């Protein structure tokens, strides 16, 4: 029997920080008829709250450290404020959303990141996803909304990259569903010329990725994002699309005339 389609959609911080745009995005999401899971980032709210409370952002070698105060802040903001705001807006649009952190129902089990020289603090690398639980929620027509917080096996909450959560969840669901993963962000897709918003590369085969990195078409923060995408496709996710957050309704229409689609 053919697998049923499942959309795993990730929205980044820039969408969350813009209230009007977030409302439109969630209205569009609620209108998508397919089963779907949303993974959200945190936006600037956590940094702003930390600043107001006088908690300094610690950086080591240019990398952010999640200390014991910061994990409390991100738990409050990501799993509390942002997650429930999204859930409530979806409910208002008749989408029966349920907000989850990685601690709830052991959804995302992780371990504290190990690094030879840097102690990242309360940062988690993912070990497993409770896909059975997500499947049951989807069968009952609930839409899971996942905050980027995971948990280790001693019950310690950990800050985890939302892009990685999205690809890992997509992967975990691939045994049961035909999973299409969408990274929605503030650009139209992968651009062949970073200065030209219209130079969208419509499709990329994963074997072409390294060349695009070598040619500096894929640069900076896009490199780990694309590596994540490559891994997801290699491991069984049907397709991954990088697109603007305003393309959400195109997703449900199965239009292919938007964003950059990564294929095997």
What residues make contact with its own copies under the rule CB under 8 A?
52-53, 72, 75-81, 83-85, 87-93, 96-101, 103-106, 133, 136, 140, 142, 149, 151, 153-157
State which residue, 46 or 229, has the beta carbon closest to its own copies. Answer: 46
Question: How near is the Cβ of 94 to its own copies at its closest, in Å?
Answer: 10
**Going along the chain, which residue ranges are E strands?**
4-11, 36-40, 58-60, 63-65, 97-100, 108-112, 124-129, 143-146, 149-151, 157-159, 177-185, 203-205, 239-244, 260-263
Q: What are phi and psi of 63, to 5 degrees?
A: -115, 140
Q: What are phi and psi of 116, to 5 degrees?
A: -60, -35
State which residue, 83 or 188, has the beta carbon closest to its own copies. Answer: 83
Cβ 40 vs Cβ 85: under 8 Å: no
Question: How near is the Cβ of 157 to its own copies at its closest, in Å?
Answer: 5
Separation between Cα atoms, residue 111 and residue 124, nearest integer Å: 5
Question: How near is the Cβ of 97 to its own copies at its closest, in Å?
Answer: 7
Separation between Cα atoms, residue 68 and residue 61, nearest integer Å: 19
Q: Exposed, middle or buried by CB within 10 Å (0-12, 13-18, 19+), for 76?
A: middle
Question: How near is the Cβ of 140 to its own copies at its closest, in Å?
Answer: 7
State which residue, 169 or 242, has the beta carbon closest to its own copies. Answer: 169
Question: How near is the Cβ of 144 to its own copies at its closest, in Å?
Answer: 10
State which residue, 80 or 236, has the beta carbon closest to its own copies. Answer: 80
Question: How near is the Cβ of 113 to its own copies at its closest, in Å?
Answer: 18
Question: How near is the Cβ of 8 to its own copies at its closest, in Å?
Answer: 19
Separation between Cα atoms, residue 164 and residue 147, nearest integer Å: 12
Cβ 143 vs Cβ 89: under 8 Å: no
State which residue, 79 or 248, has the beta carbon closest to its own copies. Answer: 79
Cβ 160 vs Cβ 148: under 8 Å: yes
State which residue, 23 or 234, has the beta carbon closest to its own copies. Answer: 23
State which residue, 95 or 233, has the beta carbon closest to its own copies. Answer: 95
Closest residue by Cα to residue 100 from 109, 92, 108: 108
User: HSE (CB half, 13 Å, CA atoms) of 233?
Assistant: 19
């Amino acid at each position: 029997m053919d697998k049923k389609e499942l959309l795993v959609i990730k929205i980044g911080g820039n969408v969350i920080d813009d209230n009007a745009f977030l409302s439109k995005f969630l209205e569009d999401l609620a209108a998508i008829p397919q089963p779907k899971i949303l993974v959200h980032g945190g936006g600037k709210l956590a940094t702003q709250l930390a600043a107001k409370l006088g908690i300094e952002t610690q950086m080591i070698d240019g990398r952010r450290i999640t200390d014991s105060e910061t994990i409390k802040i991100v738990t409050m903001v990501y799993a509390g404020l942002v997650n429930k705001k999204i859930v409530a807006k979806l409910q208002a649009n008749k989408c029966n959303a349920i907000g989850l952190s990685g601690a709830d129902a052991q959804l995302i089990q992780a371990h504290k990141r190990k690094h030879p020289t840097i102690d990242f603090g309360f940062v988690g690398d993912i070990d497993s996803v409770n896909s059975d639980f997500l499947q049951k929620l989807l069968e009952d027509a609930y839409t899971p909304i996942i905050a980027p917080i995971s948990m280790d096996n001693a019950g310690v909450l950990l800050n985890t990259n939302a892009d990685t959560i999205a690809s890992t969840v997509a992967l975990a669901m691939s045994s049961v569903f035909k999973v299409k993963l969408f990274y929605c962000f503030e650009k139209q897709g992968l651009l062949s010329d970073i200065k030209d918003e219209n130079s969208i590369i419509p499709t990329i085969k994963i074997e072409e990725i390294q060349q695009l990195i070598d040619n500096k078409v894929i640069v900076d923060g896009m490199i780990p994002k694309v590596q994540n995408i490559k891994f997801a496709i290699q491991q069984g996710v049907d397709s991954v699309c990088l697109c603007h957050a305003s393309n959400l309704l195109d997703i449900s229409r199965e239009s292919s005339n938007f964003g950059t689609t990564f294929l095997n």
